[in-house]
Structure 1
């Protein structure tokens, strides 16, 4: 079973996934978000995703409770499965590719290995405040520099991102769209 949508709200995703997982568990089945067939690759049988295996893109920004969230999507463009585990490195760059402020800190959320079948995606969500709540906003950047987990090679994604109130966090790569 594979759930795919261009956009899930965090609350709607949690409710939908909880209901789907409960139904599968009741039926004695397990859920693998990257499975396209019953013979999906497992974390131990695939290599770690490299920049060459991935296309990175941004999802839609959302505001909630004084925060601004935006997912960074990691899509497997390779011919076989690959795995991601942990947090990406993320920083904001200006138009000359100079870093604006410090890199994103980790949200602290626990994580597991995500196995991506060819053509499938996972995401990591970035967060800042929705305006100068507890401090000023930095100037707006032109790019996000993203290092996929376990990679020393960055990808630049064109993005208008502004860090406010000295809060810039990233969540781990996951298939639930969770921060």
Structure 2
């Protein structure tokens, strides 16, 4: 009587190693079974073969995992924002509008925000900021991470059109969001009918 020994790998915690087959599977694959010789009908008969299983496409599992782990869009409720005046020159005025991820998970901002100066009663002053330049692509924000856009206007007297009324609030729709963030007394003055925003970038 003969016995077949089957080895099964284990991890340190006692669980079966990944990829290890069950004992029943190993019992039939450890080697050829010993059987009594059978007479052949023909010496020229070809040996029986088993078709090979098709190989899985290389990298398909990694691609699926990468797609599944991509962060979702940042929701307005998970963001904070601030604005400060940046460096300007030759009559140009720039403001840096910064978003911060206040949620506990990574998220992404991709494209242009909707930016408006509004009065206390909610009426829009002038017109929403126009898009300036091309999109910078997705900016992924870790928890506590930041991204920004640049708002552009002109100094008073540089161009015709005068200056708009000072806004009581700055209302901002993050890219892709139907919910807005509101910043009180943003200290932004738009002149020369120039009011633009870049896309979000890190």
Task: Give the TM-score normalised by structure 2.
Answer: 0.63
Quote the Cα distance in structure 2 between the aligned partners of 1:51 and 1:155: 6
Structure 1, gaps ≥5 residues long: 1-40
Quote the Cα distance in structure 2 between the aligned partners of 1:156 and 1:62: 24
1:167 aligns with 2:194: yes
Query: What per-residue deviation string (whole Å, max 9, x for no partner) do you get for residues 144-175 of structure 1?
Result: 11000000111111212221111000001101
Which of 60, 64, 69 is the matching residue for 2:89? 64
Which of 110, 119, 138 is the matching residue for 1:113? 138
Change (3 A) 1:165 1:73: same
Structure 2, gaps ≥5 residues long: 1-65
Contact 1:143 1:161 in 2 (8 A): no
Quote the Cα distance in structure 1 between the aligned partners of 2:127 and 2:95: 18
Query: What per-residue deviation string (whole Å, max 9, x for no partner) do you get for residues 114-148 of structure 1?
Result: 00000010001101001131121111111111000
How far has the Cα of 1:42 moved from its partner?
A: 8.7
Between the two proteins, the alignment pairs up a number of residues equal to 135
Asked which structure has the greater RCO (Cα within 8 Å, sep 6+), the reply is 1
| Dislocated runs of 4+, deviation >3 Å | 41-44
Question: Helix, strand or coil for the counterpart of 1:56?
Answer: strand
Contact 1:137 1:165 in 2 (8 A): yes
1:49 is matched with which residue? 74
Task: Give the TM-score normalised by structure 1.
Answer: 0.70
Query: What per-residue deviation string (whole Å, max 9, x for no partner) do you get for residues 24-71 of structure 1?
Result: xxxxxxxxxxxxxxxxx9996111000122111113343222111111
Quote the Cα distance in structure 2 between the aligned partners of 1:125 and 1:78: 23
How far has the Cα of 1:106 moved from its partner?
A: 0.4
1:139 is matched with which residue? 165
Give the structure with the higher percent helix.
1
How far has the Cα of 1:80 moved from its partner?
A: 0.8
Q: Please say which structure displays the higher CA radius of gyration.
A: 2
Quote the Cα distance in structure 2 between the aligned partners of 1:75 and 1:150: 16
Question: What is the aligned-residue RMSD (CA, Å)?
Answer: 1.9
Question: Helix, strand or coil for the counterpart of 2:88?
Answer: strand
